[in-house]
Copies of this chain bind each other. A is one copy, B any other.
Amino acid sequence: MAPAPVDHEARRTTLAETVVELVDEQGLEAVSVRAVAARAGVSIGTVQHYFPTKDAMLMHAQVLANAAVGARAEAAAEHTETPREALRAIILAVLPTDEESARVVRVFVAFETRALHAPALAERARRDNSELRAAIEHLLRLGGAAEPRLNAIATIALLGGLCQHLLLDAAACTPEDAAAIVDLLLRRILP
């Protein structure tokens, strides 16, 4: 019997998921072709076949990580009725307030930081940020906010900073504090 054909795209994704797991558990420093091969139970040559360079591997994992953040945001906005409700739902869905969201954000933060020294990752981070900014700005316009462009940047910046606070010091900034801050923000921005 001939061997089943290999689904290369699925294998590439599986390896990228392994990278995401390593980043979540140990940080981006822990990622190497060797570590990914060991964890995925494949040879170093197999990893190199799918990702010729470490950068290629990280980029694929970054796409997965950012898509996970985007998917949470979109799902949260789906059943809302007003721009305010949609914004609130998106922000609360992204904030790391449980194990699953913390995992997603930890990985996202790792890639954002690595992007400061990796032009290809920075390019992708800028593109994804720009999409998020456009979506938030659109909602702010719909809701009648003043200065929608600046307030969209401010909203994303606040969200990013709250993520870092929640991950690093949940005693000083509890999920309830973060939710109250989001409500303060929305009351200030939206009429």
A residues whose Cβ falls under 8 Å from a Cβ of B: 25-29, 106, 109-110, 112-118, 122, 125-126, 129-130, 133, 147, 150-151, 153-154, 156-162, 164-165, 167-169, 172-173, 177, 180-181, 184-185, 188
Task: Give Cα distance in the complex from A142 to B151, angstroms.
Answer: 26
Q: Which residues of B contact A122 (CB under 8 A)?
A: 168
Task: Give Cα distance in the complex from A177 to B109, angstroms.
Answer: 23
Q: Is A27 touching B116 in the complex (CB atoms < 8 A)?
A: yes
Q: Is B159 touching A129 in the complex (CB atoms < 8 A)?
A: no
Task: Give Cα distance in the complex from A110 to B129, angstroms.
Answer: 19
New A-B pairs, 10, CB < 8 Å, besides A116-B167, A125-B168, A150-B180: A109-B113, A112-B168, A129-B168, A129-B172, A147-B180, A150-B181, A154-B184, A157-B161, A157-B164, A159-B161
Q: Which residues of B contact A165 (CB under 8 A)?
A: 129, 153, 156-157, 160
Task: Give Cα distance in the complex from A118 to B172, angstroms.
Answer: 18
